[in-house]
Amino acid sequence: MRVLPIGALMLPLLMLAGCSTPETMTRDGLVNAGISNPVAACMASRMVDRLSILQLRRLAGLGKAERSRDLDQFLYRVRSLRDPEIVGVTASSAALCATGLVR
The pLDDT averaged over each successive group of 10 residues in the chain (103 residues) is 54 56 91 90 96 91 75 90 96 94 80
pLDDT for the residue numbered 93? 96
- Closest CA relative to residue 33, chosen from 1, 6, 71, 4: 71
Q: What is the pTM of this model?
A: 0.75
Give the 3-state secondary structure of 14-68: HHHHCCCCHHHHHHHHHHHCCCCHHHHHHHHHHHHHHCCHHHHHHHHHHHHHCCC
Residues ≥6 apart with Cβ < 8 Å to 35 = 43, 68, 71, 74, 94
**Cα–Cα dist 57/19, whole Å:** 17
